[in-house]
Amino acid sequence: MKKIFYIGLISFAFLSCGKDNCSADGFLGTWKGTKNCTTKGESQVTVRFYSSGSNYYLEGDSFYRKEVNINDCSFEGGFNFIVLGVKVKGTLSIDGKSLTFKSETGPSTSLFTCTYVLHK
């Protein structure tokens, strides 16, 4: 009987490892850190994720009310203006304390790239 209990306990621990334990609420709030761009180098930034109704938005730095889709520990969003596109995509650490994302801007969204490393 003990063997069955231990096998079950070990199986549960093994199966629960690596599962994302994130929610959209983990993204919400103000994040501060660095932005490193291919054209301008590194700078300090502050961005904010917030919700309005069932939608989620990114605001701050060069983002103004950019709608993003949040799925577990990752998010993405973007828009096109004439021929200029902006794409953002990133991940939240499972502990919810750090956020890393990339922003790409250009005709093929690869002309300028910025990497953000932020903390709450």
Q: Please state the rounded mean pLDDT for residues 62-78.
A: 89
Is 8 part of a structural domain of the chain?
A: no
pLDDT on residue 110? 61
What is the three-class DSSP state of 4? helix
Give the position of tokens 């009310």.
Answer: 65
Q: What percent of the chain has pLDDT over 90?
A: 38
Looking at residue 30, its pLDDT comes to: 96
Give 64's pLDDT tier (boundaries 50, 70, 90).
confident
Q: For residue 83, what is the domain's CATH number?
A: 2.40.128
Q: Give the residue with greater pLDDT, 107 vs 77.
A: 77
* Residue 94, domain member (yes or no): yes
Geometric angle at alpha carbon 59, from 47 and 32, rounded to 5°? 0
* Residue 45 is assigned to a structural domain of this protein: yes
3-state SS of 5-32? HHHHHHHHHHHHCCCCCCCHHHCCEEEE
Question: Considering its fold, how many domains does the chain have in total?
Answer: 1
What domain range includes position 89? 25-119
Structural domain contains residue 46: yes
Residue 20, pLDDT > 70, answer no
Q: What is the pTM of this model?
A: 0.73
